[in-house]
Structure 1
């Protein structure tokens, strides 16, 4: 690892770090489960219950338990170490998914309350592999420049997984029932987790003498970052729905290829931005870059509202996406800098929770706004909200020397 100081940091150097490729590949295998299971559950519940309302409620329970309990599960990893915490989580997660698979394999196999309870239980046990892998990156790449590249690579790879997962489900349901996707997702989690925890890079790093700092639970000062990155998540949730509304109002339908291409442009822009962000040797600290990246996202969303057609909207959305992955990566770097060594997994989990919670809220808000405002104005309102979160983060940055600099997040 000390070799990272002897050569210019790059993505190739990151992957040449001892045990990095093996550990990263194992984590990505397990994380692919999260790209496959949600869609498979939704399709299987819809087929089994015959009700979109039941399917929506089940997915809401699964999503809420996954997102909002993630910091609590991450705290267990910080306390007991990856090996001691992740193995029982994985066992519980896959066991509940097995029960859910049996419940939805045939039509009317289980009542809606049972499906909801099983989905919530599965979400509550979902192992936080993303934050854990980022904590492992911290031990593999102690050099800050190399860590930036590792986080960027991790973020882009994760985004690609969430594009690949639904495509695999689409192929699978062509010759098997949707519930088979749940089985595949569970198998990926078991295989990936087994390889992950057996890697020499994944050790029980819990110190018997380690104590969490008083007053902030080891996370003091992360609150503003969480607010800013929740704004990024909100933008993602809004854009997903507004693109559909835009396509419908411009005569392209709600499920056409045009919508898919625009959303693909968002992912492509994010991937390019993430890779470029990781490759730049930034002089400004992460805390100074985050409000600028968030503000740039807000401005581009305001501009997207002026798009006259689907093609120009795709370009505008791609430009907006260019700032998404860099903002999330920068937030992860801030979390790493801010958290105590005994709370790094939990800090990363708060970033994930903020993005996902913001996305969920954004989808709900966009659904309400699109019903009575022009789509262009909805984009502008969203951009303004993101700009406000950027301003809040920037204000906190300027006040670092003041007593109000640190915002507890327990």
Structure 2
């Protein structure tokens, strides 16, 4: 006779004292971080392994999570980067033929603490109304006063430098060594699919740690520069500003995504700000101000580029993309330079492929530069 034990109780407590009780998923333990939500209906494994989520507890707005299991090739980095996970219905069984394990097994392997069976609609409405805040999940501590004390001590994301914690420690290469296109990648938490999108277009990439000295980057004599996505507050990355400014000022093309976009702005004297609750999902509409075409985009960011500062510097910076929901700045080009950036993730893993033309644009700008240099 099989004896089923009752699910382990878990607590989710927000820094304002709001308490949710549910069931433990993943491993038993305690974890904390800034709580945020993602509106995507699929692609949860790509989201879990996106380094841009480092230091955050993720809430899924989709009701059912885990029903297609996990598959190793979906990982966007060397493992799960979220601090914890929150969902409504968690499935320990999966039906995808290509899957190599359940999400529960995947969470146990990656040491993820999570909670299910809570009212995620109420939680998301609270975040949307009151803004981003810190939270704690625990399946080992039941004292709510103790948990509230612990969450009060969690550092605020505003002012927190995290990119150096997820950047590669050593340089490495991606793509065909015989390629005539060489791109230097500054890694602040780059997703594997972004590198693949560049390599698939014939580029040979050398990926540098985020704190690599400018001289070392330039010594490789690349044909273009890419500045990656990543977590944390971009304004706290003083070490990156002079390097990124030098890449912008160089005559070779430069492309930035997400955190890279914010660093392009900061290096150009445009401040960033902490958003109320950020953009995270695979269904965010963006208008390309040059073509007039709309794009459905994949996004993950809690900081933005100041629209007021951009509009006061339109002689230096051109707005190329804008969010159709809240008019935030989604793309810029530095006037007089071969440098452009977007706030969203055009590789879209997970998400629609509307914006992959940006990789073609970057490669074409590199080819034009090389042809003009002959």
Q: TM-score with structure 2 length normalisation?
A: 0.27
Judging by fraction of residues, say which structure has more helix. Answer: 1
Q: TM-score with structure 1 length normalisation?
A: 0.25
Name the structure, 1 or 2, with higher relative contact order (CA <8 Å, separation 6+): 1
Judging by fraction of residues, say which structure has more strand. Answer: 2
